[in-house]
Structure formats: structure tokens, C-alpha cells
Structure 1
Amino acid sequence: MTTGQKTVFGFLGIIATLLAVILGLCLGWPLWVWGLAAALVSGALLTGMAFTGRAQRAEPFPEGTLIDLPVRPVERREIQLTRVRLPSAERDYGFLLTATVRWCPRPDGPDRPMDGGALARASVVQRAEEVTRTSEPGRCSLVQHELSAALAVMLPDPYDLVDAHAVEVTLALDDRDQERLDRLAVIRKEQTVWEHERRHEQDRREYLHSDVLRDTGSAVVWWLTRNDEQIGRTVDDLGILAQLTSAANNEEIPELLRELITTPPAPEPVWGLADTAPSAPRTVADLAGDLFRAAGINPDQKGKYLLLIDTLASAVAENDPESAEEIRRRYGSIRRTEESAASPDVTAPTPAPNGDGPAPSMNGSGPHPE
């Protein structure tokens, strides 16, 4: 019950009580009649209040108490956005937006023809662009969640004609852009590793040049600690340490330390390869030298192997006279031995057209006359 209804029932109870008192005084009621009259008045008031409260609960707004106002129906529509390119923080990379745009005309908007879908789509794209413009393309998955939250609220468009928001928002990158970003990420990681390795190498070089090899004394102390304080070995390596220190500082070896440097013996020349450069192409004479070495033959012992060398040169001369001459020149032959032993006024016999010389005698005295 409302406060007004309670006030009305209060006044009715007071009036009924006064009427009962007046009647009782005028008619001279006995005491039991006074009690009965009080009970009847109280019961009537309580019964009226109960019925009024029940009726109010059943219909709080009785007919005629409310004003019926016409309600304009809300028109909701949807439109699709498919792979709309949006800018990113990187100039040459962009996001691709796919979403469902839901919109409805504003209730207080002007009643005139318009393309509400275009307005809603432009509004959603503009709001999405504000989010992606400052976002890195490598954070595509995180930006998608940010964009979904930013477009979830239905807001009016810039012309205040429609309300729009977006659902099912998907943000992606072009496949080729994603491949480029992955390659750049790999390159950046490798470059970081290379930079660390380069700085580590520079630190080591600086440590060796400025600390270890600063002078011979520093090198000796460093070498002594590295070899478990083996004094004898360190003393034996003084010459090497002096050479390393001088080379590292582009200085000459001090006079006091030069006598500690031992010159390694010169390597013995290998016969057969003296006049052949390591990078020169292999010739028939080189192959002949390999044959001699494999067979254990030393051509320097000319008295023992002259016949073999001359026979080999004669066989090669049929197809390659230059190689035969090189074999004779490098390893010696009976013909050249005879020419060097002959007197200056004796003319050496002319070789045959096929390059073979006269047959030597078995005792080595000279050729037999024909």
C-alpha cells in the first residue's frame, strides 16, 4: 500500500470510532456492546486494507495510469569486410582485416534515404586504422585481440547517422610479407650472434696484444702460468716468446734475446722436383721422377742408372722429343755424359733421326764402330 492509501484508511478508522462512541453514549450501550463495536470497526478497516494491497500487487499500474508512447523499431543489419588492407608501423607492410560489421540507424537520425552499410563500414575501418597504424606487423596475433576489443562497442559514425561495431574480427598478413618478416627475424638473430662473436674475438685480440704480448716479460709470465709454472719448459720457449712479442708489436727482437733464437735447418732438396713449382702442371719428367722414387732409384747415381734413364728418354722421344730432352737434362744420360767427357776438338756424333744415340758398349768405353 502507498502512503496515501494508508492515510485514507486512518481517517476512515477515526471517523468510524467517533460514530460508534456517539451512538453508544446516546443509546446507553453496555460494555460488551462497546467491545463488539470496536471489533467490527477494526475488522472492517483491516479487511479493506488487505483487499487494496492485493489488488495493487496484481496490477501495479491500473489501466489509464500510464501513457502509451509509440516505440520506433530498431533495425539491425550486417555487412562483411574481407581482407581490407590497413596500415602498420612499417611503411611497406600492412594488415588484412576480415570482420562482420553490424549496424543500425540511430533513433534520432534524420528520416531520409542513405546507405547505412557504407557508413558503418567506413566507421569500422576508420576505428581499426587508429589501432593498427602504430602496431608492428610482427605482432599480428596480439594486434588482432586489441582490435577485437576496440571494435566490440557499438558507436556512432562520424556523421552521427548509424551505430556500428564489428564481430568475428580476423587480422592477418600477406603470405609474402610474412615470409619476408620471418627471413628478417632469422637474419637479425644471426647478426646478433655474429656481433657477439666478433666482440668476443676483438676482446681476445685486445687481451693478447695489450696484456699477454705487450712485451717479452708479460708473455713469459703468461706462458709460465699456462704451463703450471714449469720453469724449464718456459726457459726453453723464451726464443719463441720473444719472436711472438716482436711480431705482435712490429718491433725487432732485442739484442739480449737474439741468441736464444735457433734457426731451423734448411730442408734438404728433393731430387727430381728442384725446378718444378708446386703449382706447375705435371710433366712427363715429373712422372718419371715419381716412377724413380716409387722404385727406390736415385738418378744422382748416374754411373748406376744412366742406361735406364737413356733408354726411357729414347722411348719417350718417338712421341715427345721435348719431354725426352727434359728427362735427359734433369736426370742425366749416357749421351750427355760422353759429351761432357769428350775433348773440345772432337765432334760428337750426330744423333739418329728417331732421337736414339749410338749403342753404348757394355764396359762404358764408347760406341762400337759400325
Structure 2
Amino acid sequence: MTTGQKTVFGFLGIIATLLAVILGLCLGWPLWIWGLVAALLSGALLAGMAFTGRAQRAEPFPEGTLIDLPVRPVERREIQLTRVRLPSAERDYGFLLTATVRWYPRPEAPDRPMDGGALARASVVQRAEEVTRTSEPGRCSLVQHELSAALAVMLPDPYDLVDAHAVEVTLALDDSDQERLDRLAAIRKEQAVWEHERRHEQDRREYLHSDVLRDTGSAVVWWLTRNGEQIDRTVDDLGVLAQLTSAANNEEIPDLLRELITEPPASEPVWGVTDTAPSAPRTAADLLGDFFRETGINPDENENALMVDMLASAAAKKDPRAAEEIRRRYGSIRRTEEEAAAPDVPAPSPNGDGPTPVVNGVGPHPE
């Protein structure tokens, strides 16, 4: 017996009890009649419930209560999509779709030959294209989840002949496209860092030019904030600050501050060493001059002349120009004095006879 049937019998019992009570009160029944009426009502209700339960177990659906309609068998099929290229928001990049398409003919479709798999495949691809056309290729993994949700619903194709949806959706990019996107992402990150560094450098230059080095007074105030407890040092650096301020603004140093600028002492040339620009490459003669200065050797002294000539001769085997420069720098004073004191020496004869010429004041070595 169902719950509804039990509810109906319950209401019937309540109504019968109320009627019996009303009649008994109105007619003044004795006590034994009340008991007899209660027993009759309980027996009637139990008998009705038992009869209904047996009838329902014998025939749950009586004849005529169900309508026998013909049911058309449902034809379900599957077809694969493998690496189908779909457009993206970038013109030269595309997604590759791989999925399983499930479809079945619609019940109201006309009974005629058709390729339901092709219709289902075209319908799924068209729905997928609507999602990927506005998606960035760099968001491939996120677009895959969006596409899976969009293709999960069974929908009819544009011709209303089949219903189709897709499962096991996978979206990917070509390996070469993925590599290019990774490189572009790395370049954009580096460019962002470079832009921040460039703006930071511009801000610092603007701060130094327009605030710190606007004039000498601003530079002095800035220097005092950095060295507040060193007043004497700030006074000593007034000349340097004036030069920096004038150089930063492309102006000449004011006359009132010129006397604060101390000229650095001029370096005295050592033993014929010529000054070279700081940016010029160091030559063998420069290095030899450093050696003379560090050791205190004077190449113009007579006892060191032979050493200079031997060094020049040794250098000539590898670099004749370096040897010539060494002789020109460190043998010039001695050679000038000896040439002025030596008598005229006749030139050697064509056959090789005659005196041997003196080179840098040193004659031929004995064999």
C-alpha cells in the first residue's frame, strides 16, 4: 500500500469516528454500544486496507491506466577529431583540437540517408571555433577548460539532423609556436625590467641636474645633508662642488669661486717618458718607464746605457717598432751628447771596409 492510500484511509477513520461520537452524544448511547461501534469502525478500516493491498500486489497497473507508445531506438555513435587547427586571436598562431565526438540522430529527423558523423564533427568544430577565435594562444591551458565546458552539452547541428557533443577535449599548440611564444614572453619581461631601470636612471639624472646640481648653493646644501657632521670637509669641497655644478649646467665657474679651485700639481717627466692619453693603449716603452720609476733606475746614466740597448735589441726580435720607441725615449739624451762630442766619422766604404757605425753610443760587441 502506498503512502497516499494510507493517508486516505486515515482520514476516513477520523471522519467515521467523529460521526459515531456525534451520534452517540445526540442519542445517549450506553457504554456497551460505544465499544461495539468502535470495534466495527476499526474492523472496517483494517478490512479495506487489506483488500486494497492485495489488489495492488496482484495488478500494480490496471488495464487502461498505461498508454503503450512505440519507442524509437536511440542510435549513439562516436567519431574522433585529431589535431584539427582552430584560429586564435593572433593571426599567425592556431590551436590544435583533439577530442571524441559523440552523436545520435534526432528522433524528429527525416528518415533519409545521411552522414551523421560528418554533421556531428562539423557542428563540434564550429562551436569550438567560436570559443578559440577570441582567445590568446598564450592561454592555451585555460582555453582548453573553457572549450571542454562549451562542448560538453549535447546540442543539435545547424540542420537539426543530429545531436552532438565532445568529450576528452585536448587543446595544444605547435612546438615551434610554443617556443616562439616563450621567447616573446621572455623578451617582454626583459623589456619591462629595462624600462623600469631606464625610468629609474632618468629620475636620478633629473634629480641630480634639476635639484642637486642646479647651482652651487643647492649642491652645498645637498652635501651638508649627506655629511652634516663634517662642516670642515664641506668647506674644503666647495671648489669641487663648484666645478661639478658648472659642468652639469654647461656654464663657466663664477669668479667668486675660482679662487677656491686648487690646480693639481703638474707631473714632472721622468727620464724622457712622454705623456700619453689615459685611453691610449699601453706600449712596451710605457711599461719599461713604469719599471724605471718603481726601481729608481735612471736610463740616462752611463752605467745603464748598455742595459737599455740590450732590452731594445731583445725587443727588436719580436717587435721592431717597440725597440725603436725604447731607443728613442730612453737613449735620446745620451745619444745627443755623444753625437755632439764625437768627431765626424766617414761613411763605410762600399766593400764593407772602414769604421763600424755606432748605434745609440754603443760600438760593436767583441766576438
Deviations 1:151-203 (A, max 9, x none): 11101000000000011111111111111111111111111111111111111
Partner of 1:253: 253
- The answer to whether residue 243 in structure 2 is matched with residue 240 in structure 1 is no
- Write out per-residue CA displacement over residues 235-290 of structure 1, whole angstroms, 9 at most, x where no aligned residue: 0000000000000001100000000001111222233542878847857x778767
Q: Deviations over 1:208-251 (max 9, x none)?
A: 01100000000001001101242110000000000000000011
Bigger Rg over Cα? 1
Matched, 1:126 2:126: yes
Matches of 2:123 and 2:271 in 1, distance apart? 93
Equivalent position of 1:59 in the other structure? 59
Distance 1:320 1:86 in 2: 69
Structure 2 counterpart of 1:194: 194
CA distance in 2, matches of 1:320, 1:153: 86
Deviation of the 1:59 alpha carbon: 2.1
For residues 1-370 of structure 1, the aligned pairs below 5 Å read: 47=47, 50-52=50-52, 54-274=54-274, 279=280, 282=283, 296-301=296-301, 305=304, 329-330=328-329, 331-332=331-332, 336-341=336-341, 347-350=344-347, 355-357=356-358
RMSD: 4.2
Q: Is the 8 A contact 1:307 1:333 kept in 2?
A: no
Residues 57 and 274 from structure 1, CA distance in 2 versus in 1: closer, same or farther, beyond 3 angstroms?
Answer: same
Contact kept in structure 2, 1:299 and 1:332, CA below 8 Å: no
Shift of 1:306: 5.3
Q: Structure 1 residues 105, 336: closer, same or farther in 2, change over 3 A?
A: same
How many angstroms does 1:121 deviate by? 0.3
TM-score by length of 2: 0.73
Q: Which amino acid aligns with 1:257?
A: L
- Identify if the C-alpha distance between structure 1 residues 145 and 239 changes in structure 2 by more than 3 Å, giving closer, same or farther: same
Distance of 1:276 and 1:207 partners within structure 2: 36
Which deviations, in whole Å up to 9, do the C-alpha atoms of 1:113-166 show, x marking residues without a partner?
000000000000111111111111121111111111111110100000000001
How far apart are the structure 2 equivalents of 1:56 and 1:318? 127
What is the match of residue 20 of structure 2?
none
Which range moves more in the overlay, 132-141 or 117-126? Answer: 132-141
Give the partner amino acid of 2:170.
T
The C-alpha deviation readout for 1:80-103, integer Å capped at 9, x for no partner, is 011111111111111111110000
Q: How many residues align?
A: 324
Residues 234 and 279 of structure 1: CA distance in aligned 2, closer, same or farther (over 3 Å): closer
Inter-partner Cα distance in structure 2 for 1:134 and 1:319: 71
Q: Does the 8 Å contact 1:239/1:258 carry over to 2?
A: yes
CA contact (8 A) 2:156 2:162 kept: yes
Matched letter for residue 253 of structure 2: I
| Segment drifting more, 194-203 vs 349-358 | 349-358
Q: 1:80 is paired with a residue of what secondary structure? A: strand
* TM-score (normalizing by structure 1): 0.73
- Whether the 8 Å CA contact 2:106–2:163 is kept in 1: the answer is yes
Unaligned runs of at least 5 residues, structure 1: 11-35, 361-370
8 Å CA contact 2:283, 2:322 repeated in 1: no
Question: Percent of pairs identical after alignment?
Answer: 81
Say if 1:317 and 1:127 are closer, same or farther in 2 by CA, change over 3 A.
closer
From the superposition, tell whether residues 153 and 340 of structure 1 become closer, same or farther in structure 2 (CA, over 3 Å).
Answer: same
> What is aligned with 1:364?
none
What displacement does 1:61 show? 2.3
Change in CA separation of 1:281 and 1:76 when aligned onto 2, cut-off 3 Å = same
Give the Å deviation of 1:312: 7.8
Indicate conservation of the 8 Å contact 1:316/1:323, yes or no: yes
The 2-side partners of 1:318 and 1:118 are apart by 87
Name the CA shift for 1:192/1:292 in 2 (closer, same or farther; >3 Å).
Answer: closer
Q: Which runs of 5+ in 2 are unaligned?
A: 13-35, 362-367
